[in-house]
Every structure is written in C-alpha cells, then in structure tokens.
Amino acid sequence: MAIRLIINADDFGFSRGITDGILWCHREGVLTSTTWMATMPDRDRAVELARQTPTLGVGVHLCLTQGTPLTKCRRILNRDGTFPRGLPRLFWRLRSHDAQREAQDEMVAQIEYGRLRGLKPTHVDSHKHVHHLRALHEAVITAAGVCGVKWIRTACETRIAGTPAMGWAYGRLAKLAEELKGKIRERGLKTNDWFFGLATTGRTDSATWLKIAAGVPDLRLGEVMVHPGDAGDVTRADTRLLAQRKVEMQALRDPLVREALEGRDIELARYDQAASGP
C-alpha cells in the first residue's frame, strides 16, 4: 500500500510575508497543502493567490483565538470584541451550549467567507488546534458538514524515531484528537490516519525531515504540519514563531529532503486527492 503524505503549512493569510513564504515552499519545495485564515490581515490577497495556484491544496484554518471575528460571537469574545488569545480563557468561555453554538456559527462564517470568494476548501483544521477541545467537537463536525467540507485534520501525533517527545499539553491534545477522529468517522466525514508536527512545532528543520522520511509509518494517509514563512512583518506579540518560520521554510526547499521522501516512495498528496477515510 502506497504511503500518501500531505505536507500542510498552517497560517496562510496571517501576513504577507507568511503567505508568500508558504507559496514559495510549494512552488520550489515539497509543500502540498496549506490552511487559510479568514480572520487575519492578508486573508483576501491569500485567497486570490490560492486561486492562481491550483496545484496547492487550500483548506481553512479555523480561528477563535486571533484576528477579527466575522460574527457577533460575544460569548467567546473579550469585552473589546476581540478573540481571547489564550486557550484556557477560550475553554472557560465555551462552557455553555450557547457559546458553543456561537463558535460553530463563527466557524461556518469563516469557511463561507472563503467559499464566496472562490476558495474550494480541501479540509479544515484550526489555529492552536482549538477544534480538538471536546466542547468544539460537535461544532467543527457540523460546520464542516454544513459547508460541504469532507475532511477534518486531527492531530493524532505519531512518534517518529529520533525526534523529541511531546510535552504533557500536546500529549493531552493528541488524546483528544483520537477521540475526535472517531466522532468524525462516525458522522461520515474523513480524517487523516496519522499526524506529525506537535513535537517539533517551529523546529522541523532539514535534519528532522530526514528522520521523518526514514520513520514515516506504514499507514494510508498522514499529514506533517509545518509553519514556514517570512516573519519580517510580524512581531512576537503576533506569534511566538518568528525565526523558526525561516528555518522550516528552508527545510521544505532542501533538495535532500525531497530526495529522502522520494527514496521511501512516499507519494506527496493533498486532502482533495486522498483516498483514505472512514
């Protein structure tokens, strides 16, 4: 059975530099997919660039923790109308069913914002992996279904030999991802069989990629998550990943990385080309 690998860059549309860096990694490297942010400053230019780049799979990076909300989801917003930047604060605000419904409506609005501008989302995932919170499982499954999106990424992290172990928080996230995976498939939607990227977020350099290529599990469909980009137009107040994005961008364009993946007969893919599923 062929190993099919999706290499997905989060944060398309976060800023001009990050958007352009992601496109560069696709045009000159091994990147096959990205997820676009409807709440961030470069969103509209990113959609137009996506339409001009049909070889790049583009999904929606659902966001409830940064940027400008598209709906009046007041139960999850700060008093000034902005999203809470921290996961604990968002988690606390999602206690009620009304808040969860507002989050669902915001997710639908973000997907539809792209669709109305010509984007054909291949899948959805989320900024800071918020859709793995148990309070949002139903919301993300319903939002994807309503908008006709068949695939939802789950961060069911696989251990790759020679790479760092996950910390406690990411370990908990991976367990929630396995729970969400079951729910997605029960509802007739699709998700990846395996995932890697939590343990090396911001540190997926060329050396790490060689370990990934050697240790890819013999399963049908996997995703490696990356965060490349030129972070010259953002600050640490915007994102903790600054110089790290350049490191990941260089790795994705490294000929040795491509050779290593080809040497394992790994087929690079995108979600809308994938045959895995329930």
User: pLDDT for 77-128, tens place per residue?
Assistant: 999 999 999 889 999 999 999 999 999 999 999 999 999 999 999 999 999 9
Q: How much is the pLDDT for 273? A: 87
Give a yes or no: residue 278 inside a domain: no
Say which residue the tokens 């760092």 belong to.
Answer: 164
pLDDT band, very low/low/confident/very high, at 219 (cuts 50, 70, 90)? confident
Q: Whole domain around residue 177: which residue ranges?
A: 3-273
Give a yes or no: residue 214 inside a domain: yes
User: What is the three-class DSSP state of 223?
Assistant: strand
Region 126-137 average pLDDT: 98
DSSP 135: G
Please report the DSSP string for 161-214 in residue order. TTSPPP-HHHHHHHHHHHHHHHHHHHTT-B--SEEE-STTTT---HHHHHHHHH
- How many angstroms separate the CA atoms of 83 and 79, rounded? 9
Counted residue by residue, the chain has a size of 278
Cα distances from 222 to residues 64, 108, 266, 277, in angstroms, run 25, 26, 11, 11
Give a yes or no: residue 96 inside a domain: yes
Q: Is the pLDDT of residue 14 over 80?
A: yes
Can you give the CATH number for the domain in which 123 is found? 3.20.20.370
Q: Is the pLDDT of residue 204 over 70?
A: yes
DSSP 117: T
Region 255-268 average pLDDT: 95
Q: Is the pLDDT of residue 141 over 90?
A: yes
Tally of structural domains, the chain: 1
Q: Is the pLDDT of residue 248 over 90?
A: yes
Q: How much is the pLDDT for 275? A: 63
Give a yes or no: residue 174 inside a domain: yes
CA trace torsion 262, 265, 270, 275 (10° rounding): 170
